[in-house]
Amino acid sequence: MRVGLILLCLGICGPFAAIHAEEPTVSAGPMVGHATPHEVNIWVRTSRPTQVAVTFWPLSDTAQQVSTERVDTSGFDGRNAHLTISNLAPGQAYGYHVRLGPSGEHLMKPEYALSFQTPPLWHRRPGGPPDFVVATGSCAYTNDPDYAPPGTPYGGGYEIYETIHSAAPDLMLWLGDNIYLRPEDWGSRTGIFRRYARQRTLKELQPLLGNVHHYALWDDHDYGPNDSDWTYVHKGSSLDAFREFWLNPSYGLPETAGIFTQFSWGDVDFFLLDNRYHRTPVNAPPSSTKVQYGEMQLKWLIDALTSSKATFKIVAAGGQFLSPFDRWEGSARYPHERDRLLNAIVGRKIEGVVFVSGDRHHTELVRQSPDGFYPLYDFTSSPLTSKGASASGEWESHLRVPGTLVTKTRNFGLLKFSGPKDNRVLTIETRDIQGQLLWSHTIRARSLSVPDSDE
């Protein structure tokens, strides 16, 4: 056996060593992740294991260039790097570039500029909270020519990422089905990581990754098989891949695994939910134990919303929250948990809640008005590059805001937060691949306040 191993090494070690002698390059990214007023995270994937550093400077003074310490690439194949840039000034825009190698001798030279920013300090300061824009989208399918089934490709329209980049959002919120695991992927840890890595190299995606702060959640297609739930045996590997390829501020809680998290930008709190890791099978009979989020995550969400003092509280998940239709996988299939969440929002008089969701391959804005309470909205944004949904009985929804249904069209959303502190406004837009406005709807923060009691 030992002789066999030696011969095997003699057969492959020469070419392998030659490959590693080549100059390392950036094969995907860099991608900008979570930011605070003093800190920004950067993700980079390289062509081979190496060391990575970032040199950055204020756009207002390009002479002030500073470099991070070099970090070794690591992860499932030793090619991913996570870098944290600290001691930044609040409310500043920075340029940056990436260097590879033990001495930083290999400079990445993209065809586009790279930038990041830090959110400003605004509490107890003149001027109030900042205006900012969040891009949204879900269902991002990238065709795989090597293993594509026959027929019309399912994915396309990748130029939508260039259009989103041109819209200059501050943040991008990925609402699930971000990579689409295939049957050849979800049966092994290697397959899951391979799909994540392959998806991230899409050429049209790179400028958007390098200049906008990205936050993500997952749905079934970047977690496991279609309609997958807590029983998926490789969910630990899916969680590891998600953590390796995204830069959210956190992943679950110490006592509760998953990808749910929370972050703030300006006067807005964002709550990103995990509707897969603890999910009961969708076809299980309705009961109080049939859940999407699980007891601890739901308790965390309700209490976190209760504690939040944000003007707007954006609650996001892969599946729809308010649609009454129960054919697919939305909250209508989990009525006990849905009602518990909505009743808690009403009962605790939590103001400013707006839901954002993906999954459905169509876009719509749903509005539900609980008795004696302000209207609740659910903005579903889908698809980015997957095939759009065809006709359905759902098109006659009585809860949909008129004029907001988009079908058979790849699209993305924009959440625009603006206005003075005492009159903040959220404008929701849906735009097509070319950036043409399909519809717009304005929600004033004042309209998301609990009505005064008659008592």
Residues 66-95: tens digit of each pLDDT? 999 999 999 999 999 999 999 999 999 999
Confidence of residue 127 (pLDDT cuts 50, 70, 90): confident
Confidence of residue 19 (pLDDT cuts 50, 70, 90): very low
Tell which wins on pLDDT, 92 or 103.
92
The residue type of 38 is H
Tell which wins on pLDDT, 21 or 288.
288
Q: Where are the beta strands (DSSP E) in 73-201?
A: 80-85, 93-100, 106-107, 115-117, 132-137, 171-175
- pLDDT above 50 for 214: yes
Instruction: Taking residues 2-8, report their average pLDDT.
Output: 34
Interhelix angle 335-347/295-307, nearest 10 degrees: 20
pLDDT at position 395 is 82
CA-closest candidate to residue 229, choices 319, 361, 335? 319
Instruction: Taking residues 439-446, report their average pLDDT.
Output: 98
pLDDT at position 391 is 63
pLDDT at position 335 is 96
CA-closest candidate to residue 427, choices 379, 418, 212? 418
Q: How confident is the model over 107-124, as pLDDT tens digits?
A: 898 999 999 999 999 998
pLDDT at position 441 is 98
- pLDDT above 60 for 6: no
Interhelix angle 189-200/235-245, nearest 10 degrees: 30
173: phi then psi, degrees, rounded to nearest 5? -110, 110
Q: How confident is the model over 327-360, as pLDDT tens digits?
A: 889 999 999 999 999 999 999 999 999 999 999 9
> Across the beta sheet with 132-137, what order do the strands follow?
80-85, 39-46, 26-36, 213-217, 171-175, 132-137, 411-418, 425-432, 437-444
CATH code that applies to domain 23-117: 2.60.40.10
- pLDDT above 60 for 7: no
Say which range, 96-105, 146-155, 171-180, 360-369, has the weakest mean pLDDT. 146-155
- pLDDT above 70 for 1: no
pLDDT at position 115 is 98
Domain 132-448 belongs to what topology? Purple Acid Phosphatase; chain A, domain 2 (3.60.21)
- pLDDT above 80 for 3: no
DSSP letter for 286, please.
Answer: P
Q: Where are the domains of the chain?
A: 23-117, 132-448
Q: How confident is the model over 266-294, as pLDDT tens digits?
A: 999 999 999 999 999 999 999 999 999 99
> Across the beta sheet with 268-272, what order do the strands follow?
261-265, 268-272, 312-317, 353-357, 376-380, 364-368
- pLDDT above 90 for 12: no
Whether the Cβ atoms of residue 69 and residue 83 lie closer than 8 Å to each other:
no
State how far the Cα of 315 lies from the Cα of 356, in Å rounded to an integer. Answer: 6
State how far the Cα of 239 lies from the Cα of 224, in Å rounded to an integer. Answer: 10
